[in-house]
Amino acid sequence: MFRLNAISALFAVVLFSAINLAEASSHAVVLPPLGADPCTWGPSFWCENEENMKRCGVTKEDCERYAEDLL
């Protein structure tokens, strides 16, 4: 009997969560896809050239430290 109650309780929690998620998603803010901003791509992008460094707010020293970490 306990097993059935536990399964019923789990089902109720999952159902309640799904209902809340559906309600919340109707008011959700649409975000750009992950990785849409190249500055989230990491040091391989940041340090490729000075334009990317400026765009992403990275200094030459940051890129030099990154290069040292690779060695």
> In the predicted model, is pLDDT for residue 11 greater than 90?
no
- Are both 44 and 22 inside the same structural domain? no
Residue 13, domain extent: 1-30
5 Cα distance to chain centroid? 36
pLDDT band at 1 (very low <50, low <70, confident <90, very high): very low
How many independent structural domains does the chain possess? 2
For residue 54, the model assigns a pLDDT of 96
For residue 67, the model assigns a pLDDT of 85
- Are both 23 and 49 inside the same structural domain? no
Q: Could you give the CA distance from residue 50 to residue 38 in angstroms, rounded to a whole number?
A: 14
> In the predicted model, is pLDDT for residue 39 greater than 70?
yes
Q: How far is CA 44 from CA 8, 59, 68, in A?
A: 50, 14, 13
Q: Which residue has the higher pLDDT, 17 or 40?
A: 40
- Are both 42 and 61 inside the same structural domain? yes
- Are both 58 and 70 inside the same structural domain? yes
- Are both 17 and 50 inside the same structural domain? no
Its pTM stands at 0.53
Q: 56 with 41: CB under 8 angstroms?
A: no
- Are both 40 and 67 inside the same structural domain? yes
